[in-house]
Structure 1
């Protein structure tokens, strides 16, 4: 089973790749090449379901602040690991790449998670699209933990609080898409909503469509894998 420790954002650069649990190449081995913001959820699903033929390598989560760098970083990581695995699957949605990541995956002949971003696949793609919440700002478990590192400081709000209205003036509520039932994370998310001057809604999603996508990949790589275990 793979093991992973997520470095703090200040130690990450756009070129960093954190790979854990890599094993020698073998028939049926699958590498999940993922955004670091999804590491906890992916590892939880792998452990819970006993998908021992799946390993995890993560690109820095901070790349989400620079989506123009994601596609090239994924290409480089695929080139690094392709010889060691029967299959590589990309655990990113479009994530602001404007279709470039999907085009690159198609070109490389590898699968990726469908949808515009992780908020949509946690919520469920059909449900997310039907809501049409254009005035909602979203947090996940990861962003609830790392709000200052991935939202507040990168937007310069620690240095220029007057920018708050410019960034968030058109939002009406903060929606916390909770992967786990954690009172501390809920309290953190609610505090961030108050900080932004937004109404607060908690929506328990579990792992959403991410669990179903990984299950499909797991079954392709290891026939006879048992029924999906999820939240």
Structure 2
């Protein structure tokens, strides 16, 4: 009688942890679902670090150290430089991890090559994304006091000429927020349908554990 052998256990890809900016969490989850990256885990640092880039590098250092202790071998940093002045790159080098290429999310959403072509023309543009449309009151109106003192608009936005909405999705409600913001701030308005830009490619690379 022939001995029956147990089937070999099929192992899936090893878990990869993305430690990202809270401002792009929804977009990372959307890419993960679209591409079927079930082995990609996500944790986020506070979106408010957008205003305090000096906190990004030390917080990332602690987050990576914690993730290593939890057993993650493959970690990807879901940030561009984001105003850290190279400090985030030094943390990435220290831990042997990679981050999203580029200076900030406004660049990688548009694609770095496309951004480089228009960066000079956009020097006086105020960027908004899907996240910033959803959080316009929480991120701009209330913290800057514009809901109580609209006369401050000129102080904060007087040097801008145009509001550029970088749209990750085609959502009329979010576009209305961007259009209303442009009118409120006294800026010309432009919409660019960027989708997720270079974020998809970056996450595909990260999902391979490379």
State the TM-score, normalized to the length of structure 2. 0.89
Moved more, 154-163 or 78-87: 154-163
TM superposition shift of 1:216: 1.2
**Residues 174, 199 of structure 1: 8 Å contact kept:** yes
1:158 deviation in Å? 2.4
Query: Post-superposition shift, 1:208?
Result: 0.1
Q: 1:136-170 CA deviation, whole Å, 9 max, x = no partner?
A: 00000000110111122222322332221121111
Partner of 1:179: 168
1:216 equivalent in alignment to 2:202: no
The answer for the alignment partner of 1:44 in structure 2 is 30
State the SS of the aligned residue for 1:76.
helix
1:138 maps to which of 127, 130, 139:
127
* Cα distance in 1 between the residues matched to 2:98 and 2:91: 10
Given candidates 188, 198, 211, the residue that maps to 2:187 is 198
Larger radius of gyration: 2
Alignment of 1:70-219 (within 5 A): 70-83=56-69, 84-131=71-118, 132=120, 133-219=122-208
Say what the alpha-carbon RMSD is for the aligned residues.
1.4
Instruction: Determine if contact 2:82/2:103 at 8 Å carries over to the other structure.
Output: yes
Secondary structure of the 2:208 match is helix
Helix, strand or coil at the partner of 2:85: coil
Q: Distance in 1 between matches of 2:187 and 2:159?
A: 10
How far apart, in 2, do the equivalents of 1:46 and 1:98 lie?
29
After TM superposition, the structure 1 stretch with the greater mean CA deviation from structure 2, 149-158 or 204-213, is: 149-158
Tell me how far 1:80 sits from its aligned partner: 1.1
Work out whether residues 27 and 86 of structure 1, in 8 Å CA contact, stay in contact via their aligned partners in 2: no
State the match for 2:18 in structure 1. Answer: 32
In 2: Cα distance, 1:185 partner to 1:160 partner: 24
Matched residue, 1:18: none
1:220 and 1:97 mapped to 2: Cα distance? 25
